[in-house]
Amino acid sequence: MPKPEQIIAVVREWLEKADNDLRNAAHTLTLGAEGPTDTICFHSQQCVEKYLKAFLAFVEIDFPKTHDIEELMNLVPDRYRPELSIQDQRRLTAYATVTRYPGGYEPIKLSEARQAVKLARRMRKAIQGHLPKEVLRYGRK
């Protein structure tokens, strides 16, 4: 059964924001050792969070205002849930909650920032694989 246009519009908004976060993370990563790794990781987490929220909106599952990737993953029906270890889910969540503010964590290595972008790209691909092409047609005009 086709989705109402309002749902498609909301999902597209989430996807566009998620892609902007991934674009920011990937671009900042090009700065190499000079790049702020905390920012790269934060935007990677935001990409994953927003892709999950886009999918949940598409399947009409309500979700809370949260940055908790594990909580959002648990809302995704089993047959659609992308593979992402609990450790990676918790690490991504920390990028949005702990590393976003000063203190309380070790500096993030460039290799970890690269891994965060890789996770975001993998989650993007997995979730896009469960969305119809009509929903994926979005972007700047």
pTM as predicted: 0.94
Residue 141 has a pLDDT of: 46
pLDDT at 110 over 90: yes
Question: Could you tell me the pLDDT band of residue 103, with boundaries at 50, 70 and 90?
Answer: confident
Q: How far apart are CA 74 and CA 133, in angstroms?
A: 25
Q: How far apart are CA 113 and CA 15, in angstroms?
A: 22
CA atoms in the 13 A half-sphere facing the CB of 98:
12
Tell me which residue of 140, 122, 117 sits closest to 28, measured CA to CA: 117
Q: Is 130 exposed, middle or buried (0-12, 13-18, 19+ CB in 10 A)?
A: middle
75-85: average pLDDT = 97
DSSP structural state of residue 22: H
Q: How far apart are CA 126 and CA 129, in angstroms?
A: 5
pLDDT at 7 over 50: yes
Residue 2 has a pLDDT of: 62
Q: How far apart are CA 79 and CA 116, in angstroms?
A: 24
Tell me which residue of 95, 86, 132 sits closest to 113, measured CA to CA: 95
Tallying the residues shown for the chain, one arrives at: 141
Tell me which residue of 64, 83, 68 sits closest to 126, measured CA to CA: 83
